[in-house]
């Protein structure tokens, strides 16, 4: 693939061309020249778009597709297409399929299905067999097949000894254990944040305490085992405090926050719109402010779309019975860019790569072209026309977002909308 990108502003603090508007010549997937006014004598394909910016390709640490078994929600092929059109060159894919991804063969299946695609699919294997929370899955075998982490998606490990053993065992081969932050006995039948809003709506509450207790437990176990832990999608101010304290102790812990938990609160549930039913639930404005501050100071390591496609049968029903989840790849950049500066939004979309074994190379001559192409200045109202996913369960529908994505250059391929 040979491409000449014209008049693009580079957003990459690790590059010598950060904040400069230049041309980028790419030959056979490698950056061969970066300068102003590059000529195109060999009639390479040119990319010239209004307000064009480029950055390192983006990474999402928690994406769900449906395949195998739940292809009506999303196939791997269309899921990777969605990621590419949304600016992501690498996505870590959860194990919540049917059957659950919990063996060497399962990981190999995901790798083979995504081979030769522009977007790198990074499989996350289940932490326990069938994600049942009873016995550890084949963690070492899955690592050998290409798994980058282990996580029972949105299912807490209730047995503390199992968590202890998982952290100890994974430390033998540098495995990353992920633990969903929820104490199920505290959560009970709660379907939204426990607060005055849940009381006024007559919906059972899921208190912040449930998340914070589980995080406190896991951090104690982590300190004991000296293991390697990732806590996905935290949502409360107290959770931030707990993780900040753990990092001061030099524990090997990282965490993420779902982008929708930065933009919406439990007040958005007054219409009983099930697209706003997510796990962890939307919290209060105080929590949102604490999460944003924690991203600014580095306590929270990365953001995720927590993209979870669900078919209409699981969403267009009574709120109590609707399945948790929203899609988020297509709206990720526009939402983040509406909250933070362009530089910070791109920083957040490229953080977390090393934790999940993703190469992080600056935009420099000689490096592989792994780029996101976007315009950060255009505002628009997000609608169903912006959704590429098979499932349409987005809580961002009808929201005004800032910044559009054109596509990616990755793995010697160009994908443009």
* Three-state secondary structure string covering 360-391: CCCCCCCCECCEEEEEEEEEEECCHHHCCCCC
Which residues are part of the catalytic machinery?
Answer: 306
Instruction: Classify residue 342 by its DSSP letter.
Output: H
Query: Rounded to an integer, what distance in angstroms lies between the CA atom of residue 116 and that of residue 112?
Result: 9
Query: Rounded to an integer, what distance in angstroms lies between the CA atom of residue 250 and that of residue 255?
Result: 14
Dihedral of the alpha carbons of 142, 148, 153, 156, in degrees to the nearest 10: 90
| Cα torsion angle, 12, 14, 20, 21, sign | negative
Query: Rounded to an integer, what distance in angstroms lies between the CA atom of residue 192 and that of residue 277?
Result: 7
Query: Rounded to an integer, what distance in angstroms lies between the CA atom of residue 295 and that of residue 380?
Result: 25
Q: Which residues contact 209 (CB under 8 A, 6 or more apart)?
A: 183, 186
CB 345 within 8 A of CB 337: yes
């Amino acid at each position: 693939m040979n491409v000449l990108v014209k008049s693009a502003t580079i957003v990459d603090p690790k590059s010598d061309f950060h904040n400069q508007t230049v041309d980028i010549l790419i030959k056979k997937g490698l950056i061969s020249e970066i300068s102003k006014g590059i000529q195109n004598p060999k009639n390479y394909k040119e990319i010239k778009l209004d307000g064009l910016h480029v950055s390192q390709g983006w990474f999402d640490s928690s994406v769900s597709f449906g395949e195998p078994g739940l292809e009506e929600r999303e196939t791997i092929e269309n899921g990777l297409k969605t990621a590419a059109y949304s600016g992501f060159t690498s996505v870590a894919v959860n194990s919540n399929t049917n059957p659950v991804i919990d063996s060497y063969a399962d990981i190999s299946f995901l790798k083979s299905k995504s081979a030769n695609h522009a977007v790198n699919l990074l499989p996350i294997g289940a932490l326990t067999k069938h994600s049942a929370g009873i016995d550890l899955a084949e963690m070492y075998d899955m690592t050998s097949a290409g798994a980058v982490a282990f996580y029972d998606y949105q299912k807490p490990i209730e047995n503390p000894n199992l968590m202890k053993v998982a952290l100890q065992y994974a430390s033998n081969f540098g495995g990353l254990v992920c633990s969903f932050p929820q104490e199920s006995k505290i959560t009970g039948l709660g379907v939204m944040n426990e607060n005055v809003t849940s009381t006024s709506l007559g919906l059972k509450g899921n208190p912040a305490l449930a998340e914070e207790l589980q995080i406190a437990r896991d951090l104690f176990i982590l300190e004991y085992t000296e293991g390697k832990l990732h806590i996905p999608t935290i949502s409360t101010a107290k959770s931030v405090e707990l993780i900040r304290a753990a990092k001061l102790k030099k524990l090997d812990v990282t965490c993420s926050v779902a982008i929708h938990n930065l933009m919406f609160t439990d007040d958005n549930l007054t219409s009983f719109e099930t697209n706003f039913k997510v796990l962890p639930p939307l919290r209060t404005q105080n929590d949102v402010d604490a999460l944003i501050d924690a991203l600014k100071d580095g306590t929270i390591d990365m953001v995720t779309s927590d993209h979870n496609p669900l078919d209409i049968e699981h969403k267009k029903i009574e709120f109590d019975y609707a399945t948790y989840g929203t899609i988020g790849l297509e709206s990720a950049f526009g939402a983040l860019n509406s909250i933070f500066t362009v530089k910070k939004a791109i920083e957040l979309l490229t953080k977390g790569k090393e934790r999940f074994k993703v190469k992080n190379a600056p935009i420099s001559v000689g490096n592989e072209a792994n780029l996101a192409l976007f315009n950060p200045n255009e505002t628009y109202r997000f609608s169903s026309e912006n959704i590429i996913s098979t499932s349409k369960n987005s809580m961002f529908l009808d929201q005004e977002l800032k910044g559009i994505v054109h596509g990616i250059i990755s793995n010697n391929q160009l994908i443009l909308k």
